[in-house]
A and B are shown apart, each in its own frame.
Chain A
Amino acid sequence: MSNKSFRQAINEALAQEMRRDPAVIVMGEDNAGGLGAPGEDDAWGGVLGVTKGLMPEFGRERVLDTPISESAFIGAAVGAAATGLRPVAELMFVDFMGVCFDQIFNQAGKFKYMFGGKAVTPLVVRTMFGAGFRAASQHSQCLYPIFTHIPGLKVVIPSSPYEAKGLMIQAIRDDDPVIFLEHKVMYDDEEEVPDEPYTIPFGEANLTREGGDVTIVAFGRMVQFSNQVADKLEKEGISCTVVDPRTTSPLDTDTILECVADTGRLVVVDEANPRCNMATDISALVAQEAFGALKAPIKMVTPPHTPVPFSPQLEDLYIPTPEKIEAAVRAVAGA
């Protein structure tokens, strides 16, 4: 057990699974870096260093750098998964799904069903998401609702280093295609992470705070913001349960409904754009299944229905903040 960053936790998960299972490979743009170039080998280890050190240990045969050619290499990862490997393919930014989505949703996500249950596609697509990097509209989105919409895909959003390692190992060992979303602002977050390999099951929400007044459901970085709000309001006598579903598909609807039944009040915090996002999905679930338990209207805290802006001043206005979450919690608590 030692303090590890979100980046190190994912790197360790990849390395340990590659040691355990020779069928595990990683691929992506500059996953090692410097291929064919005159300078340093393993120059980058991925654009933010998550795969650094894997190539020196496992060699170019298992750490494959790719041309900038997402359709081809994401598709190759799908084909490799369907024929016996366990590829972990890096789609550098989730925004790049636009050039390879067919391979993910029409191919990987549907093989098992279309082929009558006979296909197994143990693929992981690692991808960076989220605003806060001043990276503008094409490098900042939270597109997980789109993946969540597709039957056949599993969608994972770790909210801390401990969560990231256990969920990544689970994703690699899982026999279904998994989209693993890493919030780019969180890579340097640190916490205690076991040195040994471990798995966290999909479809089981984590309650990061427990309280009786308001249920906050949040994803990824928004879990941290919600925890801050819960800790602050606890001192004022408003106690919150913070639900981190960990996976949007499968979604732990039971836990969400149980928590809402306990508190009667719900705030959903979602960094994805507001139309057809997780906030609307969970609100609809609660409205349909637990309307009678609600003591106040549901509040959704989301960005506006705009692309992610570039200007720091605008981006800060765009992203849900602890202040906005706090205001929503106070509103539903009537305080």
Chain B
Amino acid sequence: MQLSREDLLKAYRDMRTIREFEDRVHDEFAKGGIPGFVHLYAGEEASGVGVCMNLDDRDKIASTHRGHGHCIAKGCDPKAMMKEIYGKRDGLCGGKGGSMHIADLSRGMMGANGIVGGGPPLVCGAALTAKTLKTGGVAVAFVGDGGSNQGTTLESYNLARVWNLPVVFVVEDNGYAETTASAWSVGGSQKKRAEAFGMPGTEVDGHDFFAVYDAARQAVEFARSGDGPSLLHVKLDRHYGHFEGDAMTYRAEGEVEKLRQDRDALKIFRTKVSEAKLLETGQLDEIDAEVKELIDQAVAESEAAPPPGEEDLLTDVYVSY
């Protein structure tokens, strides 16, 4: 294990921040404070954080409609994110993007994406930039099991292979494309799909931060060293519905309660680091309290923040027009 104590604390803090952020958005959305469509990442934290812990400032990611977790994992400011989700002027995107288009290019986060399968071609482009300008950067496409069936994704596998791009495709398979089970909607296997395009594919337990971290480290090194693209098939679970307001009638009775009990990435992480005596429970509790305070502040500040004004409607369409 190559992770330092600081790395472990950071990993836990990021995962906890995502969880707290999403749980809180869930609550606030239910109270009517948040407009629009919101898709929550709670339950999938180990994937975003396990992958992004291997990335640095040179590297880019493209996300999905379920993008809050990837944002936080790539270093975006949770307070500015919360304001964005509330549609406020000081939000990360000035209140013009919202949950589905949350982005911070200065952090290498190329955006959540309202179009399923929208990200992989963009990531090929980011990787092309890295390759052409020789920055040493790597680009990561997060895509869901639903997005894995889009032509854009499959075309991107091929393009990344034939252009030999430094790309990692991370298929986050939470078992459902909206209401439809991936067991039904995905033909063949993700791993074999990757192999069919001439790139390595690895199946990963997405509840286990350490498993994701290790697999991602290999994939990122593979890309960075010029060997081209690879794919991680990360199996995980979402704690909430497809979007907020989804009654999840398609899920089995007790399914969510059971996975929260047995397969919660944060619980698994705590258990592992405690058993291995890598971190003390007290430290983790301290992080929990700090993160809770941060998110409390984020929500309070977001509620109080001014919305954009009429003068903001027409700006930011073009650089010049």
Which positions in A face B, CB cutoff 8 Å? Answer: 23, 25, 61-62, 64, 66-67, 69, 71-85, 87, 102-103, 106-107, 110-120, 151-152, 154, 174-176, 203, 250
Contact = CB atoms under 8 A, between A and B. Distances in A.
Which residue among A76, A107, A152 has the maximum number of chain B CB atoms within 10 Å of its CB?
A76
Interface residues of B, number: 48
Given A115-B105, A117-B315, A64 B163 contact: yes
A151 B96 CA distance: 14
Contact of B155 (A72, A87, A119, A152): A72
Interface string B148-181: 0001100110110011000000000000000000
Contacts of B106: 118
A201 to B, nearest CB: 10
Given A72-B120, A113-B96, A115-B97, 19 more contacts: A25-B128, A72-B121, A72-B156, A75-B122, A76-B122, A82-B122, A83-B129, A102-B118, A107-B113, A107-B115, A110-B101, A112-B317, A114-B103, A114-B111, A115-B111, A118-B104, A154-B321, A175-B320, A176-B321
6 contacts: A71-B121, A75-B122, A79-B139, A85-B133, A115-B101, A151-B317
A119 B105 contact: yes
B91 interface: yes
Contact of A176 (B62, B104, B125, B318): B318
A312 to B, nearest CB: 35
A114 B96 contact: yes
Nearest to B154: A72
B320 A115 contact: no
B71 to A, nearest CB: 12
Nearest to A152: B317
Given A64-B163, A83-B60, A116-B91, A75 B321 contact: no
Given A72-B152, A107-B122, A119-B105, A79 B316 contact: no
Contact of B321 (A85, A87, A203): A203
A80 B139 CA distance: 11
B123 interface: yes
A71 B319 CA distance: 25
Interface string B106-130: 1000110111001011111110111
A21 B92 CA distance: 31
Contacts, number: 158
Nearest to A177: B318
B159 A67 contact: yes
A79 B118 contact: no
Contacts of B318: 112, 152, 154, 176
A236 B319 CA distance: 46
B93 A69 contact: no
Contacts of A175: 319-320
Interchain residue pairs A-B with the least CB separation, the first 9: A75-B121, A79-B125, A116-B94, A79-B122, A117-B316, A116-B93, A72-B155, A80-B125, A175-B319
B249 interface: no
Nearest to A69: B155
Contacts of A250: 321
B126 A83 contact: yes
A61 B159 CA distance: 14
B118 A117 contact: no
A176 B114 CA distance: 21
Contacts of B125: 75-83, 85, 87
B122 A78 contact: yes
Interface in B268-312: none
Which residue among B101, B319, B321 has the maximum number of chain A CB atoms within 10 Å of its CB?
B319
Given A80-B129, A83-B60, A115-B101, A103 B319 contact: no
B92 to A, nearest CB: 7
Given A67-B158, A113-B96, A119-B105, A78 B121 contact: yes
Contact of B316 (A80, A106, A113): A113
B118 A176 contact: no
Contacts of B95: 116
Nearest to A106: B115
B4 interface: no
A113 B96 CA distance: 7
Nearest to A80: B125
B2 interface: no
Contacts of B321: 154, 176, 203, 250
